[in-house]
Amino acid sequence: MFIGVIGATGNIGQHVVTEALSRGHHVTAFTRDATRATVTHPKLTWVGLDVFDSAAVAAQLPGLDVLVSCYQPGNAAQDFDDTVARSIADPTVYATAARSLLEALNTHPRTRLIVVGGAGSLESEPGRVAADHERLGELLAELGLPADYALAVRGHREALNVLRTSNRRWTYFSPAELIAPGERTGRFRLGTDQPVMDADGNSHISFEDAAVALIDEAELPQFVQRRFTIGY
């Protein structure tokens, strides 16, 4: 397959690139500044790309089977606090990026789009999403995030709502509530609209296993025009 990855130097994106290459796929790695790319591989091509330039995105779609967007403002892998601050300052960027990607797909509707989003749009209970929880700020603080990050959580939900209005071949991926560096186990469970909890009531996953799930979905689509999530 030919897979494009937006945000290819980020926490999730770099693992998606590694996972795709390990399975023999051709990867086009998109980043704001391709001169900063350090990984080389015979089947890897680096391209500079502005996700908000839909015409530029559209120009990259011919030949791609799947486009995986791991877009984040800034680069959380290099400066997590900066990404958090940017997400709070303009939480509309996620929905704006989703609109740009969908506009690009108008020119090449056969390409599948997989958007990596947030866990805040998952249902904390039937019909109620975590983004609307009255204690969201406190819950974020328990994860080491500022209470104002609730704005970004809701911004991710708006991106999902944008995708839900589209008839393109989109998929939205909500990681577990806690995602961090770890191991590639290949052993996890998938869900749809509710977080996947372990025996202790925790929702967590490694970046490595999130990448496994994303490339699994690229290879064998299960959630076209749907959202899915993951957890141990």
What interhelical angle do 80-89 and 150-164 show, nearest 10? 70
pLDDT in tens, 216-225: 999 999 999 9
pLDDT for the residue 53? 97
3-state secondary structure the chain: CEEEEECCCCCCHHHHHHHHHHCCCEEEEEECCHHHCCCCCCCEEEEECCCCCHHHHHHHCCCCCEEEECCCCCCCCCCHHHHHHHHHHCCCHHHHHHHHHHHHHCCCCCCEEEEECCCCCCEEECCEEHHHCCCHHHHHHHCCCCHHHHHHHHHHHHHHHHHHCCCCCEEEEECCCEEECCCCCCCCEEECCCCCCCCCCCCEEEHHHHHHHHHHHHHCCCCCCEEEEEEC
Q: Is the pLDDT of residue 156 over 90?
A: yes
Candidates 124, 156, 161, 159; CA nearest to 139 is 124
CATH architecture of 2-231: 3-Layer(aba) Sandwich (3.40)
Give the model's pLDDT for residue 142: 78
**The one-letter amino acid at 152:** A
* Residue range 25-84, pLDDT digits in tens: 999 999 998 887 879 999 999 999 999 999 999 999 999 999 999 999 988 888 888 898
In this predicted structure, what is the pLDDT of residue 175? 95
Q: 203-218 pLDDT, tens per residue?
A: 999 999 999 999 999 9
pLDDT score at 143: 76
From the list 168, 221, 172, 175, the residue with the least C-alpha distance to 57 is: 168
What was the pLDDT predicted at 172?
A: 98
When pLDDT is averaged across residues 167-172 and rounded to a whole number, the result is 96
The per-residue pLDDT for 75 is 83
Q: Is the pLDDT of residue 134 over 80?
A: no
The answer to whether 124 touches 130, Cβ cutoff 8 Å, is yes
Domain segments of the chain: what residues? 2-231
pLDDT digits (tens, 9 = 90+) for 6-34: 999 999 999 999 999 999 999 999 999 88
Mean pLDDT of 182-206: 95
pLDDT of 168: 95
Write down the mean pLDDT value for the chain: 93
- b/e per residue 131-155 (b: at least 16 CB within 10 A): bebeebeebbeeeebeeebbbbbbb
Q: What is the pLDDT of residues 81-104, one digit of tens each?
A: 889 899 999 999 999 999 999 999
Task: Say what the pLDDT of residue 203 is.
Answer: 93
